[in-house]
Amino acid sequence: MRAPEPVPLDDPRLDGLRQLLGVIDRLRAPDGCPWDRKQTEASMAPYAVEEAHEWVEAIESGDAEAAAGEAGDTLLAALMTCRIAEEGGRYDAGVAARRCAEKLVTRHPHVFGDERADTEAEVLATWEERKRAERAARGEDPSALAGIPAALPALMAAARTSSKAVGAGFHWPTVQGAVDKVHEELRELEAVLPAAAREAAPRSELPEEARAAIEHELGDVLLAAAYLGVYLGLDPEALCRTANRRFQTRFRAMEQTLGGTLTGHSLDQLLAAWGAAKEAEAGR
């Protein structure tokens, strides 16, 4: 493998990184900020997750200024955590960056070595094979599904699981297979959903004898839908976020149409207001 040369010392990107590292060092100094001084690697972990989600939201908004700000906050969480680890003699930002760079070089033999990969599928296959070899060398889980963080949001975990399964060769030959699977899981859900549950009001207690089966089959429906997103080359987590925002926008428009509250309106009135909100959205 032929690793590339580091960027020149006069690379303008280094100016911002050096400035941020200096601020972090000052915050963690004995006479620095009491809040920052109190943090640990463990206490910083939730902030890293939160900032990453806010960055994703800013990216999806298309606002470059907001995305840059959230990217900085995410970088702060990572570098602050590395600074805390450095004080404990565990690792520092330099060690983390070097290990990441070495890993990227190793997993891109088509860029830094003599192998070839002309398609995205070939790149992903090489990446997963290298990861499996690394895990095997460390005596870790050799499964093609290894390495999916347990703390990932469920839809993201489903996407990663599906992607890894497809990469390992376990997949339908066409997208239609994934579509059919969604229908199959829906039919299985309908088969275990008793009439009493169908006719009950929203959020009613499920019949105890059917609850486990309903949970099982509804989970399979959600999973199959997420897998279909992967087969279509789409991100189910992003799709769900977008659909949720779309629902909230329409719901607020419906509320406004009905005078600020849904109380006292018939279902026909609610559906008419919902339809008007959809039409107004489509016309924008």
Per-residue pLDDT tens over the stretch 255-269: 999 999 999 999 999
Task: Give the pLDDT confidence score for residue 160 in this predicted structure.
Answer: 92
pLDDT tens per residue, range 105-128: 988 989 998 888 888 888 888 877
Instruction: Report whether CATH 1.10.287.1080 matches the domain 158-234.
Output: yes
Question: For domain 12-106, is the CATH number 1.10.1060.10?
Answer: no
* 21-73 tens-digit pLDDT: 999 999 999 999 999 999 999 999 999 999 999 999 999 999 999 999 999 99
Domains 12-106 and 158-234 are alike in CATH topology: yes
pLDDT per residue as tens digits for the range 147-183: 888 888 899 999 999 988 988 889 999 999 999 999 9
User: Residue 267: its pLDDT value, please?
Assistant: 94
pLDDT of residue 129: 81
Supply the pLDDT for residue 244.
Answer: 94
Kindly give the residue spans of alpha helices, DSSP state H, lying in the chain: 12-27, 34-38, 41-61, 64-87, 93-106, 109-112, 120-137, 154-167, 175-192, 195-199, 208-231, 236-257, 267-283
The ranges assigned to domains in the chain are: 12-106, 158-234, 239-283
pLDDT attached to residue 227 = 96
Residues 71-103: pLDDT tens digits? 999 999 999 999 999 999 999 999 999 999 999
Please tell me the predicted confidence (pLDDT) of residue 181.
97
Look at residue 152 in the predicted model and tell me its pLDDT.
86
If one counts every other C-beta atom within 10 angstroms of the C-beta of residue 156, the result is 18
pLDDT of residue 3: 85
